[in-house]
Amino acid sequence: MASTELMRLWKLHQVDAGILEIKKRAAALDPGRAVQAELDTLAKQEQEVGGHYRSLHTENLDLELTNKGIEDKLKRIDKELYGGKVVNSREVDTLEKEIASLKRQRDKNDDRLLELMDLLPPAKTAAEKVEAKIAERKKALAEAKKAALATKAQLEAEFARLTKLRPEAAKNVSPPLLARYDSIRQKQGTGMAEVVKKRSCGGCGTMLPERTLVGAQEDKTVTCETCHRILYYTEGVV
């Protein structure tokens, strides 16, 4: 059975270890960094795949609009040509050449529109797949952030509770021992370690020499020769 002094110090250590663990968990909180990285990659993919679809779609609309304009112009020329307004042979020749040119442009546009009929569906499907993935990962990111915020709130509450307990726990330890403990804690992160399996330091795993074990069993304030933490030994430790 450990001495009363060491038992009090161990209680303080448990508070400090709890605070340290909370800080580590807070630092390791993941608000969805991996998911965000996926979204960044998908965003680039969307620019490529979605941009390709939008380019084809815009081209299709422009060609349809251009052909509509050509049809309107052909109707207007046809009306002028066969409506009795134009009788001069030179003007008739000019209008016929313009009709031929417009029809060639329309036919060229129609050929491209036929190509676009084949290109647009798969391009649209590819773009929609990327958009669906982005929507799914955005949902996952929102859930990850929500979970991280909930965990953060829990950690903050536990941190506040332990921080409030520490002054009282520290007050019960003698000033010399407390100063020694705090000095070790500042260097190692924790100032104490259990003797595990009745022979090893629970802080660094070092096999303890016999003289150190005997000192710990005799309730002396002994430290691990490797990590220098104050050792806590009880018969109940396995």
Q: What is the pLDDT along the chain (238 residues), one digit of tens a residue?
A: 568 899 999 999 999 999 999 999 999 999 999 999 999 999 999 999 999 999 999 999 999 999 999 999 999 988 887 777 766 888 888 989 999 999 999 999 999 999 999 999 999 999 999 999 999 999 999 999 999 999 999 999 999 999 999 999 999 999 999 999 999 999 999 999 999 988 899 999 999 999 999 998 888 899 999 999 999 997 654 3
Residue 210 lies in a domain: yes
Are both 162 and 206 inside the same structural domain?
no
* 165 and 152 assigned to the same domain: yes
**Which of 185, 220, 164, 233 shows the shortest CA–CA distance to 13?**
185
Copy the structure tokens of residue 184: 């070790």
Decide if 1 contacts 235 (C-beta within 8 A): yes
Structure tokens belonging to residue 134: 């982005």
Query: From CA 230, how far away is CA 17, in angstroms rounded?
Result: 14
Report yes or no: 91 and 83 within 8 Å, Cβ to Cβ.
Answer: no
Residues 152 and 186 in one domain: no
Q: How many residues does the chain have?
A: 238
**C-alpha span between 140 and 153 (Å, rounded):** 20
- What CATH number has the domain bearing residue 119? 1.10.287
* 0.85 exceeded by pTM: no
Number of domains in the chain: 2
- The residue type found at 132 is A
Strand duo 200-201 + 192-196: pairing: antiparallel
Same domain, yes or no: 103 and 166:
yes
Q: Which domain holds residue 131?
A: 31-170
120 lies in the same domain as 144: yes
Token pair of 98 as six digits? 């313009």
- Tell me the two tokens of residue 182: 């705090």
User: Distance between CA 87 and CA 67 in Å, rounded?
Assistant: 28
Look at residues 166, 146, 148 and name the one whose alpha carbon lies nearest to residue 156. 148
Distance of CA 40 to the CA centre of its chain: 9
